[in-house]
């Protein structure tokens, strides 16, 4: 479950906690709220989150197959994903030094590896589309 002290996280999927109507649609409890794709303003979504209409839920992320889904991966899958990401970085770099500076770092500790991947993705938005392709391949989808 999402720790309440973290609050609203822009880059985490949101789900409907209490049903409501917004953006010409009725939203039911447990439904994925794709506010970014719909172009809704962040402060309005935050207000709905703070009012108890929306929340983060890791179980619903798995069920709806949304978000980065790194929590579903084991050590080997995380290692494979990092290898695929770094292969893409290698294609776009011209020197070993540049590759060393831009690559996704690795760790044998799963939670730390997930954090390193998320940090890498925030710093390198150009690879996001490839990340989702690689993620689905690693998860066997």
List C-alpha distances in Å: 127 to 69, 87, 88, 123.
16, 11, 8, 10
- The residue that leads in pLDDT, 6 or 77, is 77
Q: What is the pLDDT of residue 54?
A: 94
Q: What is the pLDDT of residue 61?
A: 84
The residue assigned the tokens 């494979």 is 80
98 phi, psi to nearest 5 deg: -65, -40
For 23-33, write each residue's pLDDT tens digit: 889 999 999 99
Q: Which of 117, 111, 112 is nearest to 131 (CA)?
A: 117
For 48-98, write each residue's pLDDT tens digit: 999 999 999 888 888 888 878 888 899 999 999 999 999 999 999 999 999
Examine the pLDDT at 35 and tell me if it is beyond 60: yes
For 91-136, write each residue's pLDDT tens digit: 999 999 999 999 999 999 999 999 999 999 989 999 999 999 999 9
């Amino acid at each position: 479950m999402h720790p309440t002290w973290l609050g609203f996280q822009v880059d985490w999927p949101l789900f409907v906690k209490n049903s409501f109507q917004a953006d010409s649609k009725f939203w039911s409890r447990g439904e994925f709220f794709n506010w970014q794709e719909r172009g809704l303003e962040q402060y309005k979504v935050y207000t709905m989150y703070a009012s108890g209409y929306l929340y983060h839920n890791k179980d619903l992320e798995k069920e709806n197959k949304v978000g980065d889904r790194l929590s579903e991966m084991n050590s080997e899958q995380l290692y494979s994903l990092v290898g695929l990401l770094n292969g893409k970085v290698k294609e776009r770099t011209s020197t070993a030094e540049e590759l060393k500076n831009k690559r996704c770092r690795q760790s044998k500790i799963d939670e730390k590896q997930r954090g390193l991947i998320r940090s890498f993705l925030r710093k390198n938005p150009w690879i996001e589309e490839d990340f989702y392709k690689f993620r689905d391949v690693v998860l066997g989808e």
